[in-house]
A and B are shown apart, each in its own frame.
Chain A
Amino acid sequence: MVTCTGCALLCDDIEIVVENGRIKEIRNACRRGTSRMKGCVNRLIPSIYQKPSDIDSAIRKAAEILKSAKSPMLFGFSNSTCEAQVRGIGLARKLNAMIDDTSSFCQGMLIEKVLQKKFRTCSLEDARNRADVLIYWGSDAQDSQPRHLSRFSYFPRGESRQRGYEEDRIAIAIDVRESNTAKICKGHFYRIPLKGDREFILALIDALSGKVPSYDTKKILELAGILKKAEFGMVFAGIGLTYSIKEDTGVLLTLGDLLPNFHIMPMVGHYNMRGFNESLFRETGFVNRVKFNGNVIHEDKYSILEILKEKRTDALLVIGADPLLSLPGTVVKHLSAIPVICIDPCTTLTSKIAAVTIPCAVSGVESDGTAVRMDGEVIKLSKVVENNYASDEIILNRLMEAV
């Protein structure tokens, strides 16, 4: 059995048939996981200033760029193993660099609250065995964590949920869009306006505290009734919710206080985003947006977005991420003005403008290690295909020696 690195569910029941050093067939993984493990058509090659090179020279050049930079930054890590992430944090420390990951503009805020134990949470196995009321809030798990409902929440039989989902569980979707997940929650889909999450939470807080909610009264009272009766409830908080309430997580905490049987789980996309958050949290007390200078400084201005927008880095190492693809066009303009070092298995938009490119193995397929599932469980990754690509951990080790 192999672990899938398609998303942060890290499904560890995958069968892979390998023939002549290539994946021939993948069983049990969803469409998303299958595409991730089968990999891309355009593998990255080592290059310096867009001219083909060899790995050794590329690593030397990368070290030179990072050493001579005044304010270097390391970014990415959500698609790296825990071992590589720890190396990356070590490298940032040695360089007195800034370090951030994709959680900075994703679920970092909620994961931080979970690690600070401000939210009640539980494992996915607890959810499967015990949960009777499941709320997908601003989360389309069907498309982003496709096996979430079938492995851990709505559909499977659990220790205290033996009779099947129609009788034992209620799935609820709160979203601005009738997503694929919302379609499954038919009858319990609450459509809210854009940015309407906060108002919805406040109305729900009213209803749960015995007041008449001012907003959509009938539906809110009905929902509050379902939530009050829950024996073991789950709020699967998606980025729809996070983006909408932003730093105002207080309303979510208040809602949590009124629902003592509920557990909050941030829905994570990239397979090891939570791993990075946990590693950095262990070492610094923060989940992202850190600058090392002998000490540790954590400020919003060290987020990848603010750094690029304010042009406050003069060398950027990107590992397992593609900021040119995933960040607003106006923000990423600065990337073409500074030397970028790109470590990735594949050619990316960012690698096309990079000063140095260093190809690495596809983790969980061509290299092993560990990763942290969205609920905090540590899962082993395996190497299923033998080839010459170095793991990102090895590349970071070599960079560490060279700087």
Chain B
Amino acid sequence: MGMDLGRFIKSPDFEIRITTYRDIFQVEALEHDRFGEEYKKLSAAITMSKSDLGKMGLKSGDRVRLTSNSGSVVVEVKESKRDEPGGIAFMVNSPWSNAIISGETGGKGIPEFKNIAAKISLAKEEITPLEKLVPGMQA
């Protein structure tokens, strides 16, 4: 426990780039129940390469806070199963990634879904619940 506490006291911020993608299992969960646990589990996550996780002192299963100019959200971090060169983090399209995506488009109508600048740090809080992400939505 002492060690864990130490991790939080330090809890440094790191600058990362995130790109979004689609995952068939998450889409399946969406079609079935977009308010369900499976959809949340497969959506509220960020995947990074092993080397990037190492550099940031994070491990698979940690909860992290992602903060951009547009918002902030707590998700789970996962280690990529692929052989990634690192430098880019991945999130599926969902309300959790949308929480940190800018609405700035230069008037062109297309947000930067594929290139999000954010800060990442270890978080004590629970994964942000869906209701908190959606203005005006009743649970």
Contacts and interface: CB of A to CB of B under 8 A. Distances in A.
Contacts of B100: 329
Given A305-B105, A330-B102, A194 B95 contact: no
Interface in B6-53: 17, 19, 21-25, 27-28, 31-36
Given A144-B22, A146-B24, A195 B134 contact: no
A309 to B, nearest CB: 5
A191 B110 CA distance: 24
Contacts of A39: 31
B70 A328 contact: yes
A347 interface: yes
Q: Which of B107, B110, B111, B112 neighbours the largest number of chain A CB atoms within 10 Å of its CB?
A: B110
Given A178-B82, A325-B94, A300 B111 contact: no
Contacts, number: 149
Contacts of B94: 325
Contacts of B85: 191
B114 A329 contact: no
A35 B27 contact: yes
A331 interface: yes
Contacts of A191: 85
B34 A240 contact: no
A305 B110 contact: yes
Given A40-B31, A194-B88, A329-B99, A104 B137 contact: no
Q: Which of B21, B23, B93 neighbours the largest number of chain A CB atoms within 10 Å of its CB?
A: B21
B55 interface: no
A348 B30 CA distance: 10
A269 B19 CA distance: 18
Contact of A352 (B21, B102, B113, B137): B137
A329 B22 contact: no
Contact of A300 (B32, B36, B83, B107): B107
B66 to A, nearest CB: 12
Nearest to A302: B109
Contact of A328 (B17, B21, B28, B111): B111
Contacts of B103: 305, 309, 328, 330-331
Nearest to B96: A329
B98 A329 contact: yes
Contacts of A346: 34
A306 interface: yes
Contacts of B21: 140, 143, 177, 179
B56 interface: no
B24 A329 contact: no
5 contacts: A177-B88, A325-B94, A332-B134, A336-B135, A346-B34
Q: Which 3 A-B pairs have the closest CB atoms?
A: A303-B109, A336-B136, A331-B103
